[in-house]
């Protein structure tokens, strides 16, 4: 079974600074997808960024980018120019390329943004 | 507007009183799934459905039932709720045909308390 580990229960960053959230995963599959979801106090799950395992290029969405290291099974999220609205719980998630599109989530990292 | 809706959003009930949490999506998605979120555990899959009349267990199915009689609806049924089912529940959906259609859209969540 796949597992996803987020080793940082909490992180903090100063507004306008850069922060990196860590995620590692364990799988024997070669075809899979990785995601970062943001959960603000409203509890809504918001997709931040996604990465296909077969793509070597790291995904980027505006201020959000990932460092995908397939051999190391690492998938970190970098947030540049942090804003107060980035404060949230961030979840790393894995999805197999197989038939059940189940997302396996890490336990989350609570990000605080200090003004 | 494309969305996943859940009802109710908040529910307090007593042990043993049957309840149903509804989930509906307007995106013509084949795949639908239920997750529960508990502090320190991330989100875990309860049940999923690949299409109408096709459902299967996720990681934590005990105490839950589902049905998929229509493509847009995927209700979660708790026949005899117990306090350990107190949790935040999310419904999610996605297309399941092509490799590009792998984003899962989440509902707003249902906060359930069983006393």
Q: Which residues of chain A are within 8 Å of residue B44 when distances are taken between CB atoms? A: 105
Q: Are A61 and A50 in contact (CB under 8 A)?
A: no
Q: Does A56 touch chain B (CB under 8 A)?
A: no
Nearest by CB to B42, which of A47, A101, A105? Answer: A105
Question: Residues of chain B with pLDDT > 70: what percent?
Answer: 96
Structure letter (DSSP) for residue A60: E
pLDDT for res A96: 84
pLDDT given for residue B13 in this prediction: 96
Token duo for residue A6: 């987020």
Of A4, A100, A105, the CB nearest to B48: A100
Residues of A within 8 A of B102 (CB-CB) are 33, 50, 95, 101
B87 at interface of A, judged by CB pairs closer than 8 A: no
Structural contact between residues B46 and B112, judged by C-beta atoms closer than 8 angstroms = no
Quickly count: other Cβ atoms within 10 Å of residue B60's Cβ: 18
User: Which of B42, B56, B97, B98 is the best residue to mutate to test the A interface, defined by the most A CB atoms within 10 Å of its own CB?
Assistant: B42
For A102, the closest of B42, B48, B103 (CB atoms) is B48
Confidence label for A98 from pLDDT (cuts 50, 70 and 90): confident
What integer pLDDT is reported at residue B84 of this predicted model? 96
pLDDT per position as a tens digit, A28-40: 988 889 999 999 9
- Length of chain A in residues, anyone? 115
Residue contact A95–B40, C-beta within 8 A? no
Q: Which long-range contacts (CB under 8 A, 24 or more apart) does B5-12 make?
A: B5/B107, B5/B108, B6/B89, B6/B90, B6/B91, B6/B107, B6/B108, B6/B109, B6/B110, B7/B110, B8/B110, B9/B108, B9/B109, B9/B110, B9/B111, B10/B110, B10/B111, B11/B110, B11/B111, B11/B112, B11/B113, B12/B113, B12/B115
CA gap B31, B37 in Å, rounded: 20
Say what the pLDDT of residue B99 is. Answer: 56
B45–A103 CB contact, under 8 Å: yes
Give, in degrees to the nearest 5, the angle at Cα A9 between B87 and A100. 55
> Does B45 touch chain A if contact means CB atoms closer than 8 Å?
yes
- Summarised one tens digit per residue, pLDDT across range B25-41 is 999 999 999 999 999 88
> Hey, of A21, A52, A98, A103, which one would you mutate to test binding to chain B, going by the most B CBs within 10 A of its CB?
A103
Tell me which H or E stretch contains A82.
none
The band of A85, judged by pLDDT with boundaries at 50, 70 and 90, is very high
SS3 category, B81: coil
Average pLDDT value over all residues in chain B = 93
pLDDT of residue A71 exceeding 60, the answer is yes
Using the CB atoms, write b or e for B70-102: b if 16+ within 10 Å: eebebbbebeebeeebbbbbbbbbbbeeeeeeb
- pLDDT score, position A31: 86
Mean pLDDT of B59-66: 97
Quick: pLDDT tens for B11-21.
Answer: 999 999 999 99
Residue A49 or residue A97, greater confidence: A49
- B21 strand-pairing partners: B76
A57 compared with A1, residue with greater pLDDT: A57
Looking at per-residue confidence, does B6 or A30 come out higher?
B6
pLDDT value of residue B97: 57
Q: What is the pLDDT of residue B95?
A: 82
- Quick check: B109 and A103 CB within 8 A? no
Q: What confidence tier does B100 reach under pLDDT thresholds 50, 70, 90? A: low
């Amino acid at each position: 079974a796949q597992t996803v580990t987020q080793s940082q229960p909490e992180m903090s960053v100063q507004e306008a600074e850069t922060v990196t959230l860590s995620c590692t995963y364990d799988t024997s599959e070669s075809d899979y997808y990785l995601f970062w979801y943001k959960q603000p106090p409203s509890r809504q799950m918001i997709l931040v960024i996604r990465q296909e395992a077969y793509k070597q290029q790291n995904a980027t969405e505006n201020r959000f980018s990932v460092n995908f290291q397939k051999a190391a099974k690492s998938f970190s999220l970098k947030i540049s120019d942090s804003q107060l609205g980035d404060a949230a719980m961030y979840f790393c998630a894995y999805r197999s390329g197989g038939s059940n599109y189940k997302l396996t989530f890490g336990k989350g990292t609570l990000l605080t943004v200090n003004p | 507007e494309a969305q996943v809706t859940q009802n109710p959003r908040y529910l307090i009930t007593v042990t043993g009183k049957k309840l149903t949490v509804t989930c509906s999506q307007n995106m013509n998605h084949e795949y639908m799934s239920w997750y529960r979120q508990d502090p320190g555990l991330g989100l875990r899959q309860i049940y999923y459905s690949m299409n109408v009349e096709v459902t299967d267990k996720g990681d934590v199915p005990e105490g839950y039932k589902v049905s998929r009689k229509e493509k847009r609806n995927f209700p979660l049924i708790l026949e005899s709720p117990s306090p350990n089912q107190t949790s935040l529940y999310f419904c999610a959906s996605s297309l399941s045909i092509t490799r590009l259609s792998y984003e899962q859209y989440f509902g707003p969540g249902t906060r359930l308390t069983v006393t």
